[in-house]
């Protein structure tokens, strides 16, 4: 029986304290926080965990320097605190990096004023990062020669953090913590109906893998459906003070543009005077993002989006040849679920980009229901804690919060892993010089589970071999994914547990022997069927509902 089968089995006629709909960052963090404090929890997502908004982010863990433009001091202060907490709790996953903003003639602020802002941002962030710098044009040219400095007046460097692997894998780390704390979780299970019967919630669920219908009951429900919260609340007969509007954002993944010596983000103002970035993703760069008002949550990168971003970046970089569509390796597109008052107007285009990015949590005591509106990956720990408080306010006592439901293992455990890895010369097994040492990689990705990998490699050296040509994945990682990461469709592994699909061009992946072996490890007898399903999905247009 697979991990998923066991969990679907536990959902059948299950009776839970809390039922969570939506396995994006908000649902995942709430499951980890509640299960970690002794509640019996169920979490379902109708697709894979993190596969909607949470996989389309800029991968930044940040206080939001740009929100200072709208004087959102309290939001920036809170996000900086959230960033600092994540930096401390995830020293290997949430990594500090430099943001270099080059300011040209059309930038809304001169470099000296931006430097003042960066210093204020550094102070608001409690001085937890390295200090900001005012940069001359010559300094910018020497540090990042790719920037076209002909009309640059100078710039600044400030610091924030990013998720070194990817956003969706970060989401899965909370799902994994929830599983380890005893939660019942399943991907590809849709909530189709919920109603209150005799003082409890009765939920009807569809297993989208088998077509089976399952029912369960819960004392309290948490609506963590991101862009879909309003529709679900309407079905449940719940009225709220807030609602969601959608802001579309896209990213383009291209070959690496910046120097590989430093992990650095380049920041520019686009022609509409909105900040956009060139972000590092391994040996690739990610250009984005945009902020466009949209009426519905399903999106894809269209020709105008692509042309806009490529045009903006080509104007600001000094490249041997301008970037074209042919250079785009992968695309990302999603909607930010932004919170507005239910009674408010629909907002004009002019004030669109100034809509706040803060989250709201609403509690409906009569219905025993909690809704999470909006939020950011950066703010996830607060969401986990605030929903736990809300659950307690509804009369379910939780165990005290020892803050052990999140974070990487202790530094002693880390030191022991690296000691063992050193003794067996793990890093000597690395087959590609351009990727980081294996010990760093395995520890960051798997934490405590990486000890079992050392054992597996010791027992069978073939486990330490690369499995998929130009990607940085070992055979042993696939075996671990098969048993512990609830990979239900091949895309779950290729796009979310790993970021292979985002960094390796389609032509290199194709229908290769490596991919077939990946499928055999993940799906056993169903390997051919799962590969065919994946390859068919890759040829379908993106953004379809
Ligand atoms: C372009 C862009 C860039 C961003 N960059 C950053 C950044 O750099 N840093 C940062 O901190 N934040 C960033 N964000 C914000 C952040 O990504 C989102 O706020 C966050 O991911 C929202 O998570 P969520 O859990 O609310 O929603 P989602 O991730 O959308 O999760 C909701 C889930 O509910 C599921 N669901 C819906 N209905 C049902 C149902 N009936 N049954 C079962 N499941 C259901 C969906 O399948 C979905 O997986 C960015 C967002 C965008 C769009």
Using one digit for the tens of pLDDT, what is the confidence trace for 158-182? 999 999 999 999 999 999 999 999 9
Ranges under pLDDT 50 in the chain: 350, 542-545
Ligand 1 geometric centre to CA of 26 (Å) = 8
Greatest Cα pair distance, the chain, in angstroms, is 72
For residue 478, give Cα distances in angstroms to 102, 473, 483, 514, 515: 42, 8, 9, 11, 11
pLDDT of the residue at 297: 97
Query: 344, 335, 235: which is closest to 290 by C-alpha?
Result: 335
C-beta of 471 in contact with ligand 1 (< 6 A):
no
DSSP letter string, 120-134: HHHHHTTT-SPPPEE
- With the most atoms of ligand 1 within 8 angstroms of its CB, the residue from 30, 52, 99 to mutate is 52
* Angstrom distance (rounded) from CA 157 to CA 122: 11
Does the beta carbon of 292 lie inside 6 Å of ligand 1? no
Ligand 1, atom 30, residue with closest C-alpha = 53
pLDDT the model gives residue 544: 38
| CA 51 to ligand 1 centroid distance, Å | 8
Q: What pLDDT is stored for residue 432 in this prediction?
A: 79
| Cβ–ligand 1 contact at 22 (below 6 Å) | yes
Residue 329 CA to ligand 1 centre (angstroms): 23
C-alpha of residue 199 to centroid of ligand 1, in Å: 30
pLDDT at 543: 43
330-341 and 15-21 strand pairing: unpaired
Angstrom distance (rounded) from CA 5 to CA 38: 23
Using one digit for the tens of pLDDT, what is the confidence trace for 497-511? 999 999 998 888 877
- Ligand 1 nearest atom to the CA of residue 51, by list position: 49
Answer yes or no: are the C-beta atoms of 529 and 88 closer than 8 Å.
no
Q: If you take atom 19 of ligand 1, which residue's CA is the nearest one?
A: 376
pLDDT at residue number 105: 87
| 299 touches ligand 1 (CB under 6 Å) | no
pLDDT at position 287 is: 98
DSSP 495: I
Mutation probe of ligand 1 site: the residue of 57, 355, 383 with most atoms within 8 A of C-beta = 57
């Amino acid at each position: 029986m697979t991990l998923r089968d066991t969990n679907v089995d536990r959902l059948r006629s299950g009776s839970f304290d809390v039922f969570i709909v939506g396995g994006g960052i908000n649902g995942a963090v709430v499951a980890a926080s509640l299960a970690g404090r002794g509640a019996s929890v169920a979490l379902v997502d109708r697709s894979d965990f993190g596969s909607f908004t949470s996989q389309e982010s800029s991968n930044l863990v940040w206080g939001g320097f740009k929100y200072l433009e709208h004087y959102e001091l309290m939001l920036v202060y809170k996000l900086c605190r959230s960033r600092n907490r994540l930096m401390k709790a995830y020293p290997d996953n949430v990594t500090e990096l430099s943001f270099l903003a080059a300011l040209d003639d059309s930038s809304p602020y001169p470099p000296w004023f931006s430097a003042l802002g960066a210093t204020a941002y550094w102070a608001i962030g409690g001085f937890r990062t390295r200090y900001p710098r005012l940069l001359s044009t010559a300094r910018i040219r020497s540090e990042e020669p790719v920037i076209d400095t002909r009309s640059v007046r100078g710039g600044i460097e400030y610091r924030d953090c990013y998720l070194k692997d990817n956003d969706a894998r970060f989401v899965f780390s909370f799902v994994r913590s929830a599983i380890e704390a005893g939660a019942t979780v399943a991907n590809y299970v849709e909530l189709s109906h919920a109603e209150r019967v005799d003082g409890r919630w009765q939920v009807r669920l569809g297993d989208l893998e088998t077509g089976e219908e399952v029912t369960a009951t819960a004392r309290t429900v948490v609506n963590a459906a991101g862009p879909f919260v309003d529709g679900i609340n309407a079905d449940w007969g719940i009225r709220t003070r807030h609602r969601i509007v959608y802001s579309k954002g896209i990213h383009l993944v291209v070959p690496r543009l910046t120097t590989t010596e430093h992990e650095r983000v380049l920041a520019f103002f686009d022609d509409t005077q909105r900040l956009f970035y060139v972000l590092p993703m391994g040996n690739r760069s990610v250009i984005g993002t945009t902020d466009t008002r949209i009426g519905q949550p399903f999106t894809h990168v269209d020709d105008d989006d692509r042309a806009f971003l490529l045009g903006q970046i080509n104007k600001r970089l000094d490249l041997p040849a301008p970037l074209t569509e042919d250079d785009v390796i992968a695309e990302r597109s999603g909607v930010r679920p932004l919170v507005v008052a239910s009674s408010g107007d629909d907002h004009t285009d002019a004030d669109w980009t100034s809509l706040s990015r803060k989250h709201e949590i609403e509690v409906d005591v009569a219905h025993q229901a909690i809704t999470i509106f909006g939020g950011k990956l950066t703010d996830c720990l607060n969401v986990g804690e605030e929903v736990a408080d809300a659950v307690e306010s509804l009369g379910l006592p939780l165990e005290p919060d020892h803050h052990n439901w999140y974070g990487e293992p202790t530094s002693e455990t880390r030191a022991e892993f690296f000691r063992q890895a050193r003794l067996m010369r793990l890093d000597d097994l690395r087959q590609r010089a351009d990727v980081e040492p294996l010990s760093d990689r395995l520890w960051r990705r798997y934490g405590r589970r990486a000890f079992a990998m050392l054992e597996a490699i010791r027992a069978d050296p073939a486990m330490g071999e690369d499995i998929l040509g130009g990607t940085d994945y070992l055979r042993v990682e696939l075996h671990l994914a098969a048993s512990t990461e609830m990979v239900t469709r091949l895309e779950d592994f290729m796009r979310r547990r790993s970021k292979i699909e985002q960094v390796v061009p389609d032509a290199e992946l194709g229908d290769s022997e490596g991919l077939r072996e990946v499928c055999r490890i993940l799906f056993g007898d169903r390997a051919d069927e799962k590969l065919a399903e994946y390859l068919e999905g890759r040829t379908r247009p993106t953004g379809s509902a």
